[in-house]
Amino acid sequence: MKTPILDKLIKLMDKKLVSFHMPGHKGRNTIINWGELVPQIDVTELPGLDNLHDSRGVIKESLTLAAKTFGAKETLYSVNGTTGGIYIALAAITNPGDKVLIQRNSHKSIYNGAILNRLDIDYVYPHYNEKYGLFTGINPESIEEKLRANSDIKVVVITYPNYYGICSHIKRIADIVHKYDRILLVDEAHGSHFIFSEKLPLPALKAGADLSVQSIHKTLPSFTQTSMVHVGSNRVNIEKLKSMSSLYQTTSPSYLFMASLEIARAYMEGEGRERLEKNILLIDELICKLKDMKGVYLFTGDEEDKTIFDKDITKILFRMGNVPGPKISQILRKDYNIYLEMEDDRYCLALASVMNEERDFHLLGDAIMEIADNIMSQEGYIERVPIMPKPEIVLPLYEAFYRSKRAADLKDAAGKISGTFLIPYPPGIPVLCPGERITIGIIEYIEFLIEKGIEIIGLIGYNKEKIEVID
C-alpha cells in the first residue's frame, strides 16, 4: 500500500521537532487524548448532533459559548479556515460591484474573496520602516483620506495583526470607518489569543470591528483549518451572514473540527489562560536574553514609528547579520530540529503559542546564540528594500482573473498585464495581482526573492520561469 503523504508525516512525527510554527496545538496531545476518540467521533449529522447549516441544538450551544468567550454578538464556525471565513464575511457585507478598501499587504484570501464576490478594490498602503526594513502599520489618516474622497467605498478590510505581529491603531481606524458610516472587517487570523491576556494587543472586536475572522488553529490549540467568524455590531446582517456561510462551506462539516474549536475555547477559559501568561513571561525572558547579543537583531517595535500601535510578543521576529532568513531557518532545522513559522529574505519568525513548553524557549535561545557565534563566517547579501507595488490597475481584479491568458517569460513580461497572482509564500501576500501592469521593478524583485530561496506561488513552466499574461 503506497501512502506517500502518511509516510512523510510519520517521519516528521518521529523527529519530535521543536515547533515554532502553526498550528497552535504544536502537535501536543495533552488537552484530551485524541487517540481514543479518532476516528470514532468522525461522524455525520446523526440524530442529536445538530447541523452546522441550521444549528438549533449542541452546535448552537457551542457557538453561543464561543461568542461569549470572544466578546461577539454572534459567532459562526468556519471549517474551511479563515480563508473560508473571509469569503463568508465579505459576501455578507457587500453586493457584487461594490468597492472595498483593503491594505495592499493583505492575505491572498482577501483578493480571492473580491474575485468570488465580484468586488472592486482600492488600496491603502502600510508604512515602510527604513530602520528595520519592514512594512509596519497603516496610518489611520490614510484611511480617512480615502473615505473622504471615495463615497462609493462600502467596506474597509484591515489585517490585524500582520504576520509579524505588528498592530495598527485599530481603535482609531474603527472610529474613522464608522464616522463615514462604513463597515470594518478585520482579518484577525493571527490574533485569536489576544482576548486571553491583558499583556497582548487589544482584540479587534473590543476596538470596534464590525466583523472579525480568526484562525483559531494558528495561535490556539485547535486543528488546522478551524476558524471563527465573530460579529461585533448591528451593521452586520446576521441572516445574510449565515446564508453566505452555507454557500461557502461544505455540506459535510467535520465534527472533529467543530469539537477541536470547542475544546480550544474551553481550555483557554481555564488552564490555558494561566499557561499563556506563563509563556508570555518566558518569551519576555528569551527576548531579554537575545536583545543585546552581537549579530542578532530582534524586532520588538519602534517607538518612533507612529503606525505601530502595539506588537504581539508571541511572534518572535529576528534576523542575524546580513544572512538571508531561509539560510538561518535551514540551519535551525538541520542542526537543531527547530522549525520556524516563516522566513523572508532577511527575517525569521518563530511563532509561539500557549502550547509551547519552557524547554522549547530554552532550545530556541541556545540555538540562536550558537549560530550567532559563527555568524561572521556566514555569507551575507546586499540589502534590498522590499517592494510594495502601487500598481497601474488596467482591469478589475475579477474581470482579469477570468480573462483568457497565455504564458510569457517572466524576464520579458515588463509592460504586459498580469493574468495571475505572484505571491511569496509564506506569508501569502501578493506582489502582483491579475489585471495589474507588470513592471521591471516587480520582475527584478521576484528574481531577487527566488535567488534568496523564497517560494513564489503563481509562476509556471518547468523551471518556474513563466507568468500568465492577458493579451
Task: Give start-end residues of each CATH 3.90.1150.150 domain in the chain.
Answer: 16-21+272-377
pLDDT for 189-239, tens place per residue? 999 999 999 999 999 999 999 999 999 999 999 999 999 999 999 999 999
Give whole-number Cα distances, 37 to 33, 256, 260, in Å: 7, 9, 12
Task: Give start-end residues of each CATH 3.90.100.10 domain in the chain.
Answer: 397-470
Please state the rounded mean pLDDT for residues 270-291.
96
Helix (H, G, I), strand (E, B) or coil at 370: helix
Task: Give start-end residues of each CATH 3.40.640.10 domain in the chain.
Answer: 50-268
pLDDT for 163-187, tens place per residue? 999 999 999 999 999 999 999 999 9
| Predicted TM-score of the model (pTM) | 0.94
Give the strands of the sheet with 417-418, arranged side by side. 405-409, 466-470, 417-418
Query: In this structure, are residues 218 and 427 in contact, taking their beta carbons and an 8 Å threshold?
Result: no
Q: Indicate the helix (H) or strand (E) that contains 88.
A: helix 81-93
- As a whole number of angstroms, the distance between CA 145 and CA 156 comes to 13
Residue 383 has pLDDT above 70, yes or no: no
pLDDT for 65-98, tens place per residue? 999 999 999 999 999 999 999 999 999 999 999 9
**pLDDT at residue number 378:** 55
Give whole-number Cα distances, 70 to 74, 253, 255, 326, in Å: 10, 22, 21, 36
pLDDT for 8-64, tens place per residue? 999 998 888 999 999 999 999 889 999 899 999 999 999 999 999 999 999 999 999
All residues at 6 or more sequence positions from 452 whose CB lies less than 8 Å from its CB, including other chains: 324, 325, 326, 345, 381
**pLDDT at residue number 130:** 87
Confidence category of residue 468, pLDDT binned at 50, 70, 90? very high
Which of 357, 33, 309 has its CA nearest to residue 160? Answer: 309
Domain 16-21+272-377 annotated CATH 3.90.1150.150: yes
- As a whole number of angstroms, the distance between CA 467 and CA 178 comes to 41
**pLDDT at residue number 346:** 86
Judge residue 297's burial from the number of C-beta atoms within 10 Å of its C-beta, 0-12 exposed, 13-18 middle, 19 or more buried: middle
Question: Other CB atoms closer than 10 Å to residue 186's CB: what's the count?
Answer: 28
Which of 190, 163, 188, 193 has its CA nearest to residue 173? Answer: 188
pLDDT for 427-438, tens place per residue? 778 889 999 999
- As a whole number of angstroms, the distance between CA 186 and CA 163 comes to 14
Query: In this structure, are residues 196 and 212 in contact, taking their beta carbons and an 8 Å threshold?
Result: no
**pLDDT at residue number 379:** 52
Q: Which three cell numbers stand for residue 99?
A: 468597492
Out of 278-292, 332-346, 415-429, least confident range: 415-429
The length of the chain is 471
Mean pLDDT, the chain, integer: 93
Domain 50-268 annotated CATH 3.40.109.40: no
Q: Which three cell numbers stand for residue 360?
A: 522549547
Higher-pLDDT residue of 390 and 229 is 229
Residue 390 has pLDDT above 90, yes or no: no
As a CATH number, domain 397-470 is 3.90.100.10
**pLDDT at residue number 385:** 62
Q: Which three cell numbers stand for residue 463?
A: 523551471
